[in-house]
Amino acid sequence: MNVIISASELAEDLAGANPPVLLDVRWQLSVARAAGEPPFDGRAEYEAGHIPGAVFVDLDRELAGSAGERGRHPLPDVTEFGAAMRRAGVSSARRVVVYDGGQGWAAARAWWLLRWTGHPDVRVLDGGLPVWDGQLSTGAPTPADGDFQPVPGAVEMLDADGAAALARSGVLLDARAAERYRGDVEPIDRVGGHIPGAVSAPTNENVAPDGRFLPAEELAARFKSLGAVEGTEAGVYCGSGVSGAHEVLALAVAGIPAALYVGSWSEWSSDPRRPVAVGPDPQ
């Protein structure tokens, strides 16, 4: 099943007899803002202009639980997540398309959660809102409630122990920037570095300058060079389970199944008993 959709394909689908449910998940990591800039407000961005028919979904409130020992963006309460998706009009028999402001991370997080909880057909707008050349709307739709009932476990997920084991038995990819992997800098979490055995694989290297994914064959070649090949179990982590979902999506584009460690480095590094590796090498 195709996991991404182009802007032209989305425009055609929205004009058809059975348009998809459209979710706008604009979000930005606050530390990525320039000094002195106000915090990013995804809802304000949405209200200023969105693809007609899209419903805003708040990543921090609806796609994650409260920050704590399980990480900065742990899994949301499944019952609350299901209710939020139904309010947005999500039904099991209707395709869902998710987009964000272009980075792709937030949209991928929504895609992964819906897939993990059993939705059969979710796609991400490749390149996000910047590639959309159609009209924008400022009016918020009021969709009829959907019927989606989340059932967790439809795709693989890792916990801390599972991630550590996979780093030894398969390939565990670290989707963060290389300098955070090496431990040169750590702007958010308790300590820098990486899970011992993990391989550096920044997710921003999976996309072209315009934010769209590289062709599937190029992604497959990249992941092969990192050890993600047929017959080898693959997993991904990042800082808090958001950009890692984007790498899982890139792997899916390449035809490679991979599990997500949702707690990621924010959970792993919060426990001083867990080992930390530094430098450019996995060990």
The tens digit of pLDDT for each residue in 89-118 reads: 999 999 999 999 999 999 999 999 999 999
The model's pTM: 0.96
Positions marked catalytic: 238
Q: Please tell me the predicted confidence (pLDDT) of residue 31.
A: 56
**Domains along the sequence of the chain with CATH:** 4-131 (3.40.250.10), 157-268 (3.40.250.10)
143-146: long-range contacts, CB 8 A cutoff, minimum separation 24: 143/21, 143/55, 143/87, 143/88, 143/89, 144/89, 145/86, 145/87, 145/89, 146/21, 146/85, 146/86, 146/87, 146/88, 146/89, 146/90, 146/91, 146/94
Q: Please tell me the predicted confidence (pLDDT) of residue 283.
A: 85
Angle at 188 between CA 99 and CA 114, to 5 degrees: 30
CA distance 119 to 131: 25
Find where tokens 């430098």 sit.
279
What is the rounded end-to-end Cα distance, in angstroms, of the chain?
36
Low-confidence ranges of the chain (pLDDT < 70): 30-36
pLDDT digits (tens, 9 = 90+) for 39-90: 789 999 999 999 999 999 999 999 999 999 999 999 999 999 999 999 999 9
